[in-house]
Amino acid sequence: MSVTSDTPLDVLVVGAGITGIYQLYRAREAGFTVELLEAGVGVGGTWFWNRYPGARFDSESYTYGYLFSKELFDEWEWQEHFAEQPEIERYLNHVVDRFDLRQHIHLGARVTSATYDDTSGIWTVTTEDGAERRTRFLISATGVLSVPFFPDVPGRDDFAGQQVHTGLWPAEPVDFTGKRVAVIGTGSSGVQIIPIVAEQAASLTVYQRTANWCTPLNNSPITAAEQAQLRADFEKIRETLNTSVSGFLHPAHDRATFDDDEDQRHAFFETMWSSPGFAKLISHYTDMTFNLEANAAWSEFVAAKIRGIVNDPDVAAKLIPDDHRFGEKRPPFVTSYFETYNRANVSLVDLKATPIRRLTELGIETADGVQELDLIIWATGFDFGTGALSRMGIRGQGGLALNDHWADGPTTYLGVQTTRFPNFFFPGGPHAAAGNNPRYNGDQVDFVTDLLTYARDNGYGVVEVDPAAEESWTAMIDRAARKAPSFGECSYYFGTNIPGKPKKYLLNSAGRPKLLSMIEEIKSNDFKPFIFTQ
């Protein structure tokens, strides 16, 4: 099957997640001919695939959704401060229909190769069904958490029961009722699904390798008064988000941990414990993440909370991290998580003490024997940052494979382009964000659209980035990684959860204001250091 026509598209977007939908909208509004390819059978990206029970935002709904249209903001009333997956999927479908974008979207269209032609400057993109499309500009909005990771556990195919991954959750509901269920992994996904499974399953066994510093999400419905206030504050919200380091509304605190005496500190820790989501990182004492003593004081407070909630002291001890500090990994936010371990049908297996040996036909085998199961839920994370880009068969100048170009990890400029891959962009990919992702990704989409508009309006057909600029931006990313108090090298942010993956920082910890100020400077300088040719 081939849909190739003589006239290439101006823009082909890959991925119908939050970033891709916005990129499609912006490209069309800028007057480009544009289509979007999406592997899934529905739109939503992360929020389409991660449809496991309990999946929800842990950034405030109204800061995570789109802010480009006041009308859209006004008409969509988020039900909760942290919306659940079905509402998020409905919202993204609403956006697609409201802005009449569906006619440009091809669902079930997984990209298998994308090849650049040095002579014409045109990309040829092939999908799984063999269809080919030609485009001048190729924009991959394939996200950072889109390729689920299954650990290489021996005997995975031997298990006779059902296996599902949180990041690849089936469209049909998975029934836990009366079943013996295992959840492997206690990252943000695992700790969201565990309490829900526990309520319904006959038994739940949680396989935990590393305990995480979980704190309450403190979700609540958005009241009518709050809805009205949000609408009144639209411009203020946008302004605050645009000037905050990580794209959240939470204000920074003005005191360091030991500026307060013990009673004041305890009271402040209580306030933090009861605060919503990421306030616990952003509005915390100014030194909490990098002053070891300060971090230890907060960690001990959280540990005491866990001991206070979990009845069995041995189980509580296993749930308290002992190998990393609070904030060193991306902290999950939970609802009734620790309480779950007080249920009679829930047990916790410490994989450091008894690692998984293999799966058998009946269940999971550790040193303690085989736990018989009906259903295994893999909550084992993703090939973060570069996972999707490395599986699309992308070839740039002279047939160079992106995977060879990035053999030692990604190098980028602004997290939107890499040298030797002209006319190819990847907003929301590696080096894009460290915080509230849609905010940074939206900046990148705006920038890419402006860049392409400039090229078109000035008669240029090829856009590439100066190697010196890429080198300097990538060096800045690596420096910021070393300085960043949080997110140590044990984190998937360095790719270390994937065997054989180069250890390279995959976020942009320099903050959103820096990205925005660089973008403004580039725009006012005729988009240098991008190189334009006809």
Cβ distance to ligand NAP smaller for residue 417 or 444: 444
Cβ distance to ligand NAP smaller for residue 57 or 301: 57
Three-state secondary structure along 321-388? Answer: CCCCCCCCCCCCEECCHHHHCCCCCEEEEECCCCCEEEECCCEEEECCEEEECCEEEECCCECCCCCC
By CB under 6 A, residue 146 contacts ligand NAP: no
By CB under 6 A, residue 197 contacts ligand NAP: no
Looking at residues 313 to 372 of the shown chain, list those that interact with ligand NAP (rule: CB under 6 A).
330, 351, 356
Looking at residues 456 to 515 of the shown chain, list those that interact with ligand NAP (rule: CB under 6 A).
492, 497
Furthest-apart CA pair in the chain: how many Å?
Answer: 73
Q: Do 380 and 389 contact (CB within 8 A), yes or no?
A: no
How many binding residues for ligand NAP (CB under 6 A)?
26
By CB under 6 A, residue 190 contacts ligand NAP: yes
Measured at the alpha carbon of residue 490, what is the angle toward residues 485 and 493, in degrees to the nearest 5?
75
For residue 66 the two structure tokens come to: 């789109």
Options 61, 188, 283, 486; binder of ligand NAP; rule CB under 6 A:
188
Phi, psi angles (nearest 5°) of residue 505: -65, 135
Cβ at position 403, least distance to ligand NAP in Å: 22
Q: Count CA atoms within 13 Å of residue 126 on its CB side.
A: 12
Cβ at position 288, least distance to ligand NAP in Å: 19
- Mark the segment that binds ligand NAP (CB under 6 A) among 73-81, 100-108, 206-214, 397-405: 206-214
By CB under 6 A, residue 185 contacts ligand NAP: yes
| Burial (Cβ within 10 Å: 0-12, 13-18, ≥19) of residue 178 | exposed
Query: Which residues are 14's β-sheet partners?
Result: 37, 140
By CB under 6 A, residue 187 contacts ligand NAP: yes
Looking at residues 154 to 173 of the shown chain, list those that interact with ligand NAP (rule: CB under 6 A).
166
Residue nearest to ligand NAP (CB): 187
* Helices within 42-98 (DSSP H only): 46-49, 61-64, 70-75, 85-98
DSSP H or E run through 12: strand 9-14
Cβ at position 57, least distance to ligand NAP in Å: 5
Q: Do 335 and 224 contact (CB within 8 A), yes or no?
A: no
Q: Report the C-alpha gap between 276 and 56 in whole angstroms.
A: 14
Cβ at position 198, least distance to ligand NAP in Å: 17
By CB under 6 A, residue 81 contacts ligand NAP: no
SS3 of residue 484 by DSSP: coil
Cβ at position 239, least distance to ligand NAP in Å: 24
Cβ at position 324, least distance to ligand NAP in Å: 9
Cβ at position 152, least distance to ligand NAP in Å: 8
Cβ at position 495, least distance to ligand NAP in Å: 11
Closest CA to 46 of 411, 507, 277, 388: 388
Closest CA to 111 of 164, 36, 163: 36
Looking at residues 215 to 254 of the shown chain, list those that interact with ligand NAP (rule: CB under 6 A).
none
By CB under 6 A, residue 19 contacts ligand NAP: no
By CB under 6 A, residue 151 contacts ligand NAP: yes
Cβ at position 356, least distance to ligand NAP in Å: 6
What would the DSSP string read from start to end of 198-222? HHHBSEEEEEESS----EE----BP
Q: Report the C-alpha gap between 126 and 111 in whole angstroms.
A: 6
Options 127, 295, 380, 509; binder of ligand NAP; rule CB under 6 A:
380
Looking at residues 430 to 449 of the shown chain, list those that interact with ligand NAP (rule: CB under 6 A).
none
Options 126, 186, 423, 509; binder of ligand NAP; rule CB under 6 A:
186
Phi, psi angles (nearest 5°) of residue 137: -115, 130
- Mark the segment that binds ligand NAP (CB under 6 A) among 133-141, 203-211, 455-463, 514-522: 203-211
Q: Report the C-alpha gap between 94 and 65 in whole angstroms.
A: 12
Cβ at position 497, least distance to ligand NAP in Å: 5
* Footprint of ligand NAP (CB under 6 A): 56-58, 145, 151, 166, 184-190, 192, 207, 209-210, 330, 351, 356, 379-382, 492, 497
